[in-house]
Amino acid sequence: MVEPRSSILQFIQQIYPFSDLDDKNLDLLLPHLEHYRIPAGKIIYSPGEESEAFYFILSGKVEIFLPGRSSPKPLQILDSSDHFGEDVLLRRRRHTGAVTKTPVLVLMITRQNIKNVCIESSMIKRIFHLFADTYQNYCKNQFPWRQPSETFYLLLRHHSYFLWIRLIPIILVALGSFAGLLFLAFTSIHGFAVWISFSILALGLGILFSMWQILAWSNQYFALTKDRVLIQKLLVGVFESRQETPMNAILSVGLNTSFLGRTVGFGSVVARAYTGNLAINKLPDPDIVYSFLEYRRKRILADQRRSEKESMQAMLENRLYPEHASNSRPFQPLPEKPSQTNYYSDSFSDLIARLFNLRQEKDGAIIYRTHWWILFKKLFFPNLFLLLVVVIVLSRYAVLFTANATVVYGLALVAAVVGWGWWFYQYTDWHNDVYIITVDQLVDVNRRPLGSEDKKSAPIKNIQTVEYQRNGIIGMALNFGTVKIQIGNEELTFDDVYNPSAIQIEIFNRFREFNEHSHKIEQKRMTDWFSTYDGIRHDEESEN
């Protein structure tokens, strides 16, 4: 059903990109928009259909799904102010489907109208281009850190300029070497096969390094989701990291560009938190990313205030007027499942991690120990010392040397006691170094056997950024690294822990759970106050 135009104008400025367009671009876009109400449970489009339109949600919820073997696979739950239908921007058939979960009011723009608007406005064209890139990236890639109900708003790689400035020198050197060696092969009197082999090797190395650079570029992402801002980097075989900041920890957003960046179309966006900045560099269309991030920051604050108000109103109604409380239940998004991304699979790495008890849960707390590789490094010299003692004893027993047997065996016994003492000291030292995630705190405990204990703790509620890194061939192969947590003015580090990516996810989930629990407690406290006030007022009225 088409709504009167005047009834939806109030919503337009609350949706990106309408909220950020100047009057000229807004006037170009608005005449091409159509608005409809769609009932709950209706499939708007299905995978494989011809893509004809792009949609903005004014109100309601829409589920985006992928085709599955037995049933559709949910991909995203979208809310008011979100958009969907990006296939139309790529001029292809629908890769995903969309179904309404509640009654929705949408704005629709057709393929032809998108084409016309993009011809008239480069700004709108760039915005739609970023929407299309984001859609392609999250459809083609799996992100284990993403929660089922966590919506992707932007998911972008570095600007392609930074790929080409790496590729071009490699290509020129490879082609130049190949041509030069090939020339030598055909002009030299001797060594034709050698020069041909070297020319093929030079070309092969050029192709190999080019593919490595392309892979490195393709594995570096900036993500803006419903809950966080995130940077993911992966240099195959060398380095991996992921740094993220919760959206509600961001105080402001900044934009940095250079003359070259403005010319080519790249720049940096900075998300500023209480104690640190998350710099997002080498972004395409940084002005659009900046405006979208600023829009999301303001939007999440407004949504939190509205949600708290609605929850407070519902709790007050249930507390004060239970007989009038509504029995209807609002739409529930995709259920959040406990993150079991580490130690739970049947992979060899997870089996070894469970064998060494690198993660355990006790009284609601999660306890981590450093990777078993660190234990092996600590035990290397004690094991070598004990092995040397065994070799000496066996050598004397086999009469490979003629020293006094009593003296040799006596010294070996003393050395064995010392060696085993050293061994247990190092094992205990490894075992006593733990990292703990409680309901409301992060704790780093470093306790020396028969020595001092160093303990650091910080509240989860003050988390500003969480970052993990895996460095080097060994760290990448054995999947261990460091998790860094910026909390207020302190930085806690979980060093040399197994599967740091999953630990980062676990910390972030605890942060979200703590905030949700705190909000519920605060709301309950407020309703108790109102209930007490209502009781006092009722008593006074009864006395009068």
pLDDT for position 276? 65
Please list the alpha-helical segments (H only) found in 492-543.
Answer: 500-543
Sheet of strand 359-362, all strands in order from the earlier edge strand to the far edge? 359-362, 365-369, 434-437, 441-447, 453-459
The CA-CA-CA angle for residues 138, 140, 142, to 5°, reads 70
Cβ(216)–Cβ(152) below 8 Å: no
What 8-state DSSP symbol labels residue 322? G
pLDDT value, residue 302: 81
pLDDT at 178: 93
Q: How far apart are CA 235 and CA 517, in angstroms?
A: 38
- Rounded to whole angstroms, how far apart are CA atoms 211 and 240? 18
Q: What is the pLDDT of residue 134?
A: 93
152-157, strands of its sheet edge to edge: 152-157, 221-225, 228-235, 239-246, 463-471, 480-487, 490-498
Residues of the chain predicted below pLDDT 50: 1-6, 328-341
**Full DSSP string of 267-288:** EEEEEE-SS-EEEEEEEESHHH
pLDDT at position 177, please? 93
Q: Which residues contact 467 (CB under 8 A, 6 or more apart)?
A: 241, 242, 243, 244, 483, 484, 485, 486, 504
Instruction: Let me know: does 76 contact 105? Beta carbons within 8 Å.
Output: no
Contact 21, 124 (CB under 8 A): yes
Rounded CA-CA distance 264/285 in Å is 9
CA dihedral 176→177→180→183, nearest 10 degrees, is -110
Candidates 88, 96, 86, 83; CA nearest to 48 is 96
DSSP assignment letter at 50:
B
Helices (H) and strands (E) in the chain, counts: 13, 23
Q: Are 249 and 462 in contact (CB under 8 A)?
A: no
The residues, any chain, with a CB within 8 Å of residue 241's CB and separated by 6 or more, are 231, 232, 233, 467, 468, 469, 470
Per-residue pLDDT of 333-382, as tens digits, reads 444 444 444 556 667 788 888 888 898 888 888 999 999 999 999 999 99
**Distance separating alpha carbons of residues 43 and 401, to the nearest angstrom:** 87
Q: What is the total residue count of the chain? A: 544
Q: Residue 179: phi, psi to the nearest 5?
A: -65, -45
Pairwise CA distance, residues 335 & 328, whole Å: 19
pLDDT at 343: 59
Q: How far is CA 361 from the centre of its chain?
A: 24
CB neighbours (10 Å) of residue 428?
A: 14
Question: 3-class DSSP state for residue 4?
Answer: coil
